[in-house]
């Protein structure tokens, strides 16, 4: 069960959540979420989840690996945020977490009660629509808020027309 959303109360605004990962389709999800946020006077939250990994090395090596993963995540997020600023004119919130993508998405939604919509984009690869979209397919309770899934063939211009 998710906490009551606060996005419609005075002093709050509806936020759209987009997940940044290494899939080619994530840029479309960010573009759509950013446009919807801008057009509805809402906010945009960008989430990057550092996968639970092989950080179980010797302590010194583990700390270096974590720091390198964090640095890489910060670089990816800085680039994504800059793209949003330049193309949409919106300042996104940046969240970086470590763990399971699904669990961290749920945790961010629970932590920020203004987040009202999760935006994902389907991929066109032969192995499926992408890891997050595949995860929610057929699972009614994958995430506790509505999920918008963009088709894989939409261009940014078509996304702009929809928003």
The residues with which 120 forms a beta bridge, in sequence order, are: 149
Q: What tens digit of pLDDT does each residue of 94-150 get?
A: 999 999 888 899 999 999 999 999 999 887 666 655 666 656 655 555 678 888 988
pLDDT confidence of 10, banded at 50, 70, 90?
confident
Q: What tens digit of pLDDT does each residue of 67-91 get?
A: 899 999 999 999 999 999 999 999 9
Q: What is the DSSP letter of 50?
A: E
* CA pair distance 49, 28, nearest whole angstrom: 18
Quickly list DSSP for 63-93. Answer: HHHHHHHHHHHHHHHHHHHHHHHHHH----E
Q: What is the DSSP letter of 52?
A: P
**Does 97 or 22 have the greater pLDDT score?**
97
How many CB atoms neighbour CB 126 within 10 A? 5
Helix, strand or coil for residue 160?
helix
**Does 153 or 72 have the greater pLDDT score?**
72
Pair 4, 12: CB distance under 8 Å: no
Pair 117, 17: CB distance under 8 Å: yes
The pTM for the full model equals 0.86
Helix, strand or coil for residue 33?
helix
DSSP H helices, 22-149, are 26-39, 59-88, 101-111, 131-136
Domains for the chain: give ranges and CATH numbers: 15-162 (3.40.50.620)
Q: Is the pLDDT of residue 6 over 90?
A: no
């Amino acid at each position: 069960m998710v906490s009551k959303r606060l996005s419609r109360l005075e002093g709050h605004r509806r936020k759209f959540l987009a997940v940044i990962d290494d899939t080619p389709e994530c840029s479309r999800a960010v573009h759509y979420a950013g446009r919807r946020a801008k057009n509805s006077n809402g906010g945009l939250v960008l989430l990057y989840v550092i996968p639970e990994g092989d950080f179980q090395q010797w302590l010194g090596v583990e700390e270096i690996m974590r720091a390198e993963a964090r640095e890489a995540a910060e670089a990816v997020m800085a680039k994504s945020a800059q793209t949003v600023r330049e193309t949409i004119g919106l300042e996104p919130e940046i969240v970086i977490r470590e763990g399971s993508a699904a669990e961290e998405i749920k945790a961010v939604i629970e932590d920020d009660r203004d987040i009202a919509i999760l935006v994902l984009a389907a991929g066109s690869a032969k192995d499926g629509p992408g890891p997050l979209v595949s995860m929610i397919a057929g699972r009614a309770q994958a995430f506790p808020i509505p999920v918008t899934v963009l088709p894989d063939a939409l261009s940014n211009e078509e996304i702009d027309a929809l928003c």
